[in-house]
């Protein structure tokens, strides 16, 4: 075999190895989704979504309390985090050269890389340690901390995409700056901002670590944000590491629900972006 052929063969072998790498990389996804459906789907029924857990060791019961808890905790996190994230994002896109914008951008990147468990400790020292009891609100604050930098950076990117000519046209027609920002710029960027926010919400909805010692978890329907509250990821953790077969079954079913929630949010996000391009045309 001469040099030429050896080089060509090597190229072909390396390319096939990389093609195998793609298959290897997709395998875990297929495996995880398959296992979730096989082990979780049979436990899903109406009672699963509306009942509270049966006493330990008994069969039956549901995770209605955790569905409600996740809705409340994530909802409050959005109320706290979205205004700050979107506002900061618009600021750093509209005044990009200002020192504050540069600082905020850098800080958002640092916060994006901060482990969620560390944010949980922060929410604990800030709220739980002072109030001397666990609460759903503390969990929301921790999740909002994770939400803000993600939403801020995507909002900024989306507002930056709005062509300057639109802004100038509005100003030339006598619109004040704030109305230009709200009615023209923000309106054009809105689908992108919604996409970014939905993706960020999907991320925080699945977070467990920041809730471990803030929302803590609970066995009952609880709507009081000042009390410990259940959440779907916490239920998966508790049931998966618990000793009972029945708990493991519920853990799989809950994980399936959680994954469906996350994927539906991501899918909705993708649909929202698709509309942006048709709007711009």
Please list every residue from 145 through 174 that binds other proteins, using CB under 8 A: 145, 148-149, 152
Task: Choose which of 158, 233, 272, 276 interacts with other proteins (CB under 8 A).
Answer: 233
Minimum distance between the CB of residue 149 and other proteins, rounded to whole angstroms?
Answer: 7
Q: Which residues contact 74 (CB under 8 A, 6 or more apart)?
A: 140, 143, 201, 204, 205
Taking CB under 8 A as the rule, does residue 11 contact other proteins?
Answer: yes
CB 92 within 8 A of CB 107: no
CB 73 within 8 A of CB 140: yes
DSSP per position, 38-74: HHHGGG-SHHHHHPPBPSTT---B--HHHHHHHHHHH
Residue (68 or 141) nearer to other proteins, CB = 141
Minimum distance between the CB of residue 172 and other proteins, rounded to whole angstroms?
Answer: 14
Which region, left, alpha or beta, applies to residue 45 given φ > 0 means left and ψ of -120 to 50 means alpha?
beta
Q: Select from 53-61, 122-130, 162-170, 188-196 the region that touches other proteins (CB under 8 A).
A: 122-130
Taking CB under 8 A as the rule, does residue 177 contact other proteins?
Answer: yes
Taking CB under 8 A as the rule, does residue 50 contact other proteins?
Answer: no
Residue (23 or 46) nearer to other proteins, CB = 23
Taking CB under 8 A as the rule, does residue 129 contact other proteins?
Answer: yes
Taking CB under 8 A as the rule, does residue 36 contact other proteins?
Answer: yes
What are the φ and ψ backbone dihedral angles of 215, each rounded to 5 degrees?
Answer: -80, -25
Minimum distance between the CB of residue 91 and other proteins, rounded to whole angstroms?
Answer: 4
């Amino acid at each position: 075999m001469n040099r030429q052929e050896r080089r060509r063969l090597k190229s072909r072998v390396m390319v096939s190895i990389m093609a195998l790498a793609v298959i290897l990389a997709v395998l875990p996804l297929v495996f995880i989704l398959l296992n979730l459906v096989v082990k979780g789907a049979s436990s899903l029924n109406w009672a699963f979504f509306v009942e509270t857990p049966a006493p330990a060791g008994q069969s039956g019961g549901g995770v209605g309390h955790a569905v409600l808890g996740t809705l409340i905790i994530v909802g409050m996190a959005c109320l706290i985090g979205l205004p700050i994230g979107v506002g900061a994002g618009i600021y750093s896109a509209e005044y990009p050269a200002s020192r504050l914008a540069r600082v905020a951008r850098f800080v958002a990147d640092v916060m994006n890389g901060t482990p969620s468990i560390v944010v949980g400790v922060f929410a604990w020292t800030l709220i739980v340690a002072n109030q001397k009891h666990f609460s759903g609100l503390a969990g929301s604050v921790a999740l909002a901390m994770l939400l803000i930098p993600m939403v801020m950076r995507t909002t900024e990117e989306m507002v930056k995409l709005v062509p300057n000519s639109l802004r100038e046209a509005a100003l030339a027609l006598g619109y004040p700056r704030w109305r230009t920002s709200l009615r023209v710029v923000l309106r054009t960027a809105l689908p992108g901002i919604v996409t970014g926010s939905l993706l960020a919400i999907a991320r925080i909805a699945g977070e467990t670590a920041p809730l471990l010692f803030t929302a803590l978890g609970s066995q009952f329907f609880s709507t009081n944000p000042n009390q410990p509250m259940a959440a779907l990821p916490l239920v998966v953790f508790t049931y998966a590491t618990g000793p009972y077969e029945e708990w493991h079954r519920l853990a799989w079913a809950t994980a399936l629900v959680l994954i469906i929630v996350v994927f539906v949010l991501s899918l909705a996000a993708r649909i929202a972006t698709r509309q942006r391009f048709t709007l711009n045309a």
